[in-house]
Each structure stands twice: as structure tokens, then as C-alpha cells.
Amino acid sequence: MSGSRLPGFFRLGIDERRRIVAELGGVDGATLAAVLDRGGIDIATADRMIENVIGTHGLPLGVATNFLVDGSDVLVPMAIEEPSVVAAASNAARLVREGGGFITDADPPLMIAQVQLVDVPEPALCSERITKAAPELCAIADRAMPTVVARGGGAREVEVRDLGDGMMVVHLVVDCRDAMGANVVNTVAEAVAPRICQIAGARVGLRILSNLADRRRVRVLARVPAAALAHGGRPAREVVLGIAGASRFAEKDPYRAATHNKGIMNGVDAVVIATGNDWRAVEAGAHAHAASSGRYRPLSTWSESENGDLVGSIEMPLALGTVGGAARLHDGAKLVLEILGVRGASELARIACAVGLASNLAALRALATEGIQEGHMPLARRGSS
């Protein structure tokens, strides 16, 4: 067994699976077992993380196999309660592997701090003054986040938006490097607000990050050779067209798009949770982005390529961190990051997005062929190949 292509992994016992994951993930086997035996977190740590603690709450942690992302094999730990998701993502990753694997691309890790202004007397003049003061505001912001600046991040841009009725909002665009960014961006919003208030001659309202992290988008492409899709006596072309047709359905109908996107989030959230990241923030950003055209749309689409292969793409905002937050305290999250072998937040986001696209492909293939109950659910018993 090598890389992430592990046929028959599902047939092994838990100890043997752990041994393989430790070996391939380059982590100490005894440490892996000790951390996972206590569910990733001990009660004393839990008591430091939140309030009024009475225990910890476990979820199954599985490992998706077969993922080839930007030419590298990766074993993907997923925390999720729903049967079939891990096996289905692994199966879809095997199909995409036959087309060369997932190809990804990510924006720089830019997050938005919002400072709301109310009772603005002259919006046009206010906008002009704040825009002129951008270098000063960026300098104030940078002084409020020395650690982020030391890591190469910092304030990058100031945007002013007129929301009408005397309400405006100032955006400080912050490069937060490998942090998810919520803490630092909220600190920045509060640090720059008094000066913005002086310049604007208006009252400051809310000072908080935006979870519509649309400056921090990730894109993933996948190609599956048509021949790999022939399934259960169905010719390959029928399956390709069935999946493309399922995608058209989601593009035309928000009721279907919501379920299509839920299938994507099955994969994304399982990685987000396993790495101790804020899945509510990721969900909020994903759905706000899905609706950003004014109509709720699918985050991914699939079509038949010129040579008859199936091609899919996804774009979504993903605000994930590999430093700070739970990644600092939660031993299970730290272990998962080690197994993934990611060098930073961008790489983690690319992998999570690829897993989302794989989960989506698996669901659409089952829906377009034998149906989800017949095809997808029995995977829970059969495992992945």
C-alpha cells in the first residue's frame, strides 16, 4: 500500500487502519492511538475552550482514500455522523484520480472587517475622505495585529460602500495568512473604528468580520474519463449525461440547488470539523456566495467535455485556519492536520473543497443511476474500493 490509493482499506480492523494512516501520514503510531482513544480532546482542555463544560461530544472520524490533489496523494480524515459519506467521497476520488486528480487554485487569505456607519450626513464626501485616509487606516490596523504582520499578513485595502438611508460600511481587507481570521479581523474592526468615526463625522455601529469571505475563494476542477463511469450495466455516456443533467437541474432550481450544495457540504464540513475549524462560518459563507447573483445557485457544475469525459468545477469561499483557534488546543485537530500534511490554510482549503466536489460527484452519480437509497446508502456496509 502506498500513497492514498488503498484498495480494501475498509476491510481492515481499526488497529490496522490506524497503523497504515500513522505510517503514511508520518505520525507516531502510539501518539495517534492515544489521541484518538480519548476522542481527540481531554476534559481539562475542553473546560478551557468553552464555558460550563460537563463533558466532550464525539463523532466518528474516518479516513477518505484515493485523493490526488494537485499531483499529491493525501489521506483525508473526515468527522461526520452520516453513513456513506466517507466511502462515497473515496469512490469519487478514485474516479477523478483516473482523470489526473483534482486541480485546485485559491485566492490569498483575505478577510473583510466591517465597520458600520450610521447617520452619515454626506455619504459622497465621507466616502472620499475615508478612501483618502486608507494608508493611515491600514497602518492603524497593522499596529493592532503585530503577529499577523510578522507572518507576512496585514491590512491590504479599504473599501467604502454606501448602503443608503445615511448608512455606510467601511471594509478593511486583511490578509490573515494561516489563521481563520475571525479574532484578528474583529480586533482590526474595533481598532480602526474610532478614527473612521472621526473622519466620517458619523456614528459607528457594528464592528465585526464578514462571513461572506468572497475575497478568499477556492476553485477546484475535476475530470473523469467517460469509460470510468460505466456503471451497473449502464453505458458510460448515459451516466455522463445523467450527471450533467443533474447539474442543469440544480442550476435551474433553487430547491434542488440547496440539496446539491448540501451534498457538497457533506464533504467540506467533515474536513472542517476534523481540523477543528468553524463550520458555521464556512456554511454561512458558502450559502451567501451561492446566493450572490441574486438567485440561489449550485456551488459546483458538471458537464460533458468535447471528448465525452465528465468535467466538474466548484468555487466557494473557505475561511479556514491551521494556526490559532482550536488548532492550537485540540489534540485531535492537530493530529488530523499532521495526517493531511498541509503546509498552511490555503492547502487545507483546497483539499476541503476537493472533498466537497468528490462528495457531490458521488451523490450525483448515485442519483443519476440507481438512486441514492439503492446506490449510495449501501456503501455504508460495503465501504470504498
- CA neighbor of 76 nearest in space, from 262, 325, 272: 272
Residue 140 CB-half CA count within 13 A: 16
Beta strand ranges found along the chain (DSSP E): 61-69, 72-79, 103-106, 110-118, 154-164, 167-175, 203-209, 217-224, 300-304, 310-317
List the catalytic residue out of 16, 81, 82, 136: 82
Based on CB atoms, which residue is closest to ligand MEV, 167 or 372?
A: 372
| Residue 238, CA distances (Å) to 31, 216, 244, 306, 309 in order | 48, 36, 10, 15, 12
Based on CB atoms, which residue is closest to ligand MEV, 61 or 265?
A: 265
Based on CB atoms, which residue is closest to ligand MEV, 199 or 372?
A: 372
The least CB distance from residue 149 to ligand MEV, in Å, is: 42
- Is there a catalytic annotation at residue 278? yes
Question: What is the DSSP secondary-structure string of 165-176?
Answer: TTEEEEEEEEE-
The least CB distance from residue 336 to ligand MEV, in Å, is: 22
Based on CB atoms, which residue is closest to ligand MEV, 318 or 363?
A: 363
Give me the phi and psi of 247, to 5 degrees please: -65, -45
List the catalytic residue out of 278, 309, 338, 347: 278
372 binds ligand MEV (CB under 6 A): yes
Binding-site member from 262, 295, 328, 382 for ligand MEV (CB under 6 A): 262
- Is there a catalytic annotation at residue 376? yes
Sole window of 217-225, 234-242, 256-264, 276-284 interacting with ligand MEV (rule: CB under 6 A): 256-264
43-82: contacts with ligand MEV (CB under 6 A): 82
349-368: contacts with ligand MEV (CB under 6 A): 363-364, 367
Q: Which three cell numbers stand for residue 157?
A: 485595502
- Is there a catalytic annotation at residue 252? no
Based on CB atoms, which residue is closest to ligand MEV, 41 or 80?
A: 80
Based on CB atoms, which residue is closest to ligand MEV, 186 or 296?
A: 296
- Cβ atoms of residues 323 and 150 within 8 Å: no
380 binds ligand MEV (CB under 6 A): no
283 binds ligand MEV (CB under 6 A): no
Q: Which three cell numbers stand for residue 342?
A: 498541509
The least CB distance from residue 266 to ligand MEV, in Å, is: 5
Q: In the beta sheet, which residues pair with residue 313? A: 221, 301
Cα–Cα distance between 23 and 350 in angstroms, integer? 23
Cα–Cα distance between 199 and 233 in angstroms, integer? 70
- Is there a catalytic annotation at residue 251? no
Q: Which three cell numbers stand for residue 364?
A: 450525483
259 binds ligand MEV (CB under 6 A): yes
> Total residues contacting ligand MEV (rule CB under 6 A)?
10
91 binds ligand MEV (CB under 6 A): no
User: Which residue is at the shortest CB distance from ligand MEV?
Assistant: 263
The least CB distance from residue 265 to ligand MEV, in Å, is: 9
> Which residue shows C-alpha cell 493611515?
136
Instruction: Calculate ∠ Cα 311-247-362, nearest 5°.
Output: 70
Binding-site member from 153, 263, 317, 325 for ligand MEV (CB under 6 A): 263
Cα–Cα distance between 301 and 228 in angstroms, integer? 19
Residues annotated as catalytic are 82, 262, 278, 376
Give residues in contact with ligand MEV (CB under 6 A): 82, 259-260, 262-263, 266, 363-364, 367, 372
